[in-house]
Amino acid sequence: MSYRARIRDGDATAFAQLFDEYARAVYSHAYRVLGDWAAAEDALSLTFLEAWRLRRKIDADGGSLRPWLLGIATNVVRNMRRAARRHRDAMARMPRPEAVADFADEIAGRIDDAERLAAIRQAYGGLRRHEQEVVALCVWSGLSYAEAAEALGVPVGTVKSRLARARRKLEPAPSPRQVEGDRSPMKEIR
C-alpha cells in the first residue's frame, strides 16, 4: 500500500511521518503570513488537525503532499486572520472602560473614621443625659446656646455650664501615641 493510501486510510504512523516531513514548511508559511510565532504554532496545529479530517480526499497516486498541506494552511491562516479582525472590530465597538479609582485610601479613612466615631460614642455614652442633650443640640445640630436653652426649657447659662462640663469629660487624656495634628474625639464634636 502506498504512503498516500496509508495516510488516507488513517495510518497514524504514516500521518506522523507526514507531520515530520512538512511541519517546518507549514510553520514557516504560517509565520511569514501571520508574523507571530505563537499564532504560527496555532496555525500548524490547526493545519494538521484539518489534514487529518480531510485525509480521505487524498488521491492514492500523486507526488508530494506539501502543496495540499500548504493549501490547508493558507485556509487556516485566512480564517485566523478573519477571526482576529472580527475580534478587533468587536472590541473597538465596545465602550472604553472608565478608570477605576483606588479605594484603598477611602477605605482606610473610613476605618479611621469608624474607630473615631466608636470612641466618640463611647465617650458620649459616659456623659449624663442632660450633658448628652446639650452636646447633641449645640455641637452636632449646630444650635446656638439660646436656641438650645429654648429647646430644653433651661436658662442659657445652664446650657453653657453643661456643655463646658461635657467638653472636659470628653477631652482625652494625653496619649504617648498621639501625634501632633491627630484628631481627637473632642475635636470631632466641636
Q: What is the tens place of the pLDDT at every residue in 88-108?
A: 999 999 988 888 777 777 888
Which 3-state string (H, E, C) describes 6-75?
Answer: HHHCCCHHHHHHHHHHHHHHHHHHHHHHHCCHHHHHHHHHHHHHHHHHCHHHCCCCCCCCHHHHHHHHHH
- Quick check: 145 and 151 in contact, CB under 8 A? no
State the average pLDDT over residues 2-6. 89
- Residue with more model confidence, 129 or 50: 50
- The pLDDT score that the predictor gives to residue 105 is 78
Residue type for position 122: Q
Mean per-residue pLDDT of the chain: 86
* pLDDT of 74: 93
Would you say residue 139 has pLDDT above 90? Answer: no
Give the mean pLDDT of 32-43: 93
Residue 164: pLDDT over 70? yes
pTM summary value: 0.51
Better-scored residue on pLDDT, 187 or 139: 139
Residue 19, exposed/middle/buried by CB under 10 A (0-12, 13-18, 19+)? middle
- pLDDT for residue 135 is more than 60: yes
- Most confident among 48-62, 127-141, 171-185 (mean pLDDT): 48-62
Instruction: Say how far apart CA 159 and CA 145 lie, in whole Å.
Output: 6
Higher pLDDT, 80 or 176: 80
Res. 121: pLDDT tops 60? yes
